[in-house]
Amino acid sequence: MQLNTLFQLLAVKENTPEFLEQADCLLFMPDFLHWALCGSRLTEFTIGSTSQCMNPLTRNWAGGLLKQFGLPMRIFPKIVPPGTTLGSLRPGLSDRTGLAAIRVIAPPSHDTASAVAAVPTAHSGKSNWTYLSSGTWSLMGVETAKASLSARTQELNLTNEGGLDGTYRLLKNIMGLWLVQQCKRSFDARGKVYDYPELAKMAAHSPALRSLVDPDDGRFLNPPDMPKAIQDFCRETNQPIPKTEGQLIRCAYESLALKYRQVLGWLEELTGNRLDVIHIVGGGSQNAILNQFTADACQRPVLAGPVEATAMGNLLVQVRSSGEISSLTEIRDIVRQSSQVKCYQPRDVERWVTAAARFGQFATGTPTTPASHRRSISS
């Protein structure tokens, strides 16, 4: 993806090479905060794994790749797993805050890694569930013991991001509620100011499955006018053009749900496992209409919550490192017992199957639907 660190470093090399010549250490933002707290110069595994600079087999920097691009290996620090004690709080900070020289512990620094650690599944260690971290981006994937490096994984542009306890998060980045947020921004600019609950209510009263878009189409990355971008897509694919605010938001919600169905099929194909339940965490887990559409489109129960999964996972990994929690399973048990999780059951099977067939005509990278997914839909 164009936002990955590798591309940013290549841009620096091309445009301001003196920065690389002067630098002696590369710190990602979480690692920089750790340095500010305790002076450590280390890379935490989960954030480093998203850079496209790491070898997923060795779990270390991809030296051959970096050398081919002419990037200096000397700036890449040692990689440490989440839960590592990095040092003690700097004396100056201890004095200013009144805190003792407390330990600074690296959590899973990538926000989705912390969120997945806090997924309230009762089946930790099993391979029959998928997570969906729902917010501006949607990140949908599974927890795996090893990175998936097949040609098919590359073809579908799935990523292997680091997780807790040496796991990987095989996932797809999906253009999430950005579609809705940017529509709201355009509505506001035109003097039609609605809050998100109002937009959801308007969407609920608009015609169902009338107009669909592929959320991952490049035109939706950062258009100057999101409603126009959605309307242009519908026009070009010979669909009814959504005109009202409710129609546009419903189009975004339903399209996201059908994209989740598509990615669910990919994950089942790549893992060979049937995924029986979808756990939605993050801010988007509060969106009842999208949660229900997701259950309907995927024909899987959806368990929504907690909203603050990232903060909970971050905190509880640090607690575990202090010896008060024994395992990832216990972390998830604590989250499950401490959170309100709402269940959405699938409905309207045939209508969503028909819509999925339409969606598949223009959605990018549509795979052959695996047998396990076909059975679940027909049942």
Give tens-digit pLDDT for 154-198: 999 999 999 999 999 999 999 999 999 999 999 999 999 999 999
This prediction has a pTM of 0.93
Q: Give 367's pLDDT tier (boundaries 50, 70, 90).
A: very low
pLDDT digits (tens, 9 = 90+) for 11-43: 999 999 999 999 999 999 999 999 999 999 999
Q: How far is CA 87 from CA 10, 47, 111, 113, 317, in A?
A: 32, 19, 22, 22, 16
Task: Please give the average per-residue pLDDT across 362-367, as a whole number.
Answer: 66
The pLDDT, as a whole number, for residue 11 is 97
The pLDDT, as a whole number, for residue 1 is 83
The pLDDT, as a whole number, for residue 3 is 85
Angle (CA) 313-318-319 rounded to 5° is 95
Asked whether the beta carbons of 254 and 242 are under 8 A apart, the reply is no
Task: Please give the average per-residue pLDDT across 90-98, as a whole number.
Answer: 94
By CB atoms closer than 10 A (0-12, 13-18, 19+), residue 201 is middle
β-strands 129-134, 159-162 pairing: unpaired
Quick one: tokens of 71?
């990037």
Catalytic residues, by residue number, are 111
Q: Average pLDDT, whole number, for the chain?
A: 94
Residue with tokens 């490049």: 218
The pLDDT, as a whole number, for residue 365 is 60
Q: Is the pLDDT of residue 95 over 70?
A: yes
pLDDT digits (tens, 9 = 90+) for 130-146: 999 999 999 999 999 99
Quick one: tokens of 141?
């994937």
Q: Is the pLDDT of residue 149 over 90?
A: yes
Task: Please give the average per-residue pLDDT across 359-370, as a whole number.
Answer: 66
Q: Please name the helix (run of DSSP H) or strand (run of DSSP E) that holds residue 140, with its range, or none.
A: strand 137-144
pLDDT digits (tens, 9 = 90+) for 60-74: 999 999 999 999 999
High-pLDDT (> 90) share of the chain, %: 93
Domains defined along the chain, listed by start = 5-105 (3.30.420.40), 111-177+256-378 (3.30.420.40)
Q: Please name the helix (run of DSSP H) or strand (run of DSSP E) that holds residue 231, with its range, or none.
A: helix 226-236
Q: How many other C-beta atoms can be found within 10 angstroms of the C-beta atom of residue 305? A: 21
Q: Please name the helix (run of DSSP H) or strand (run of DSSP E) that holds residue 374, with its range, or none.
A: helix 371-378
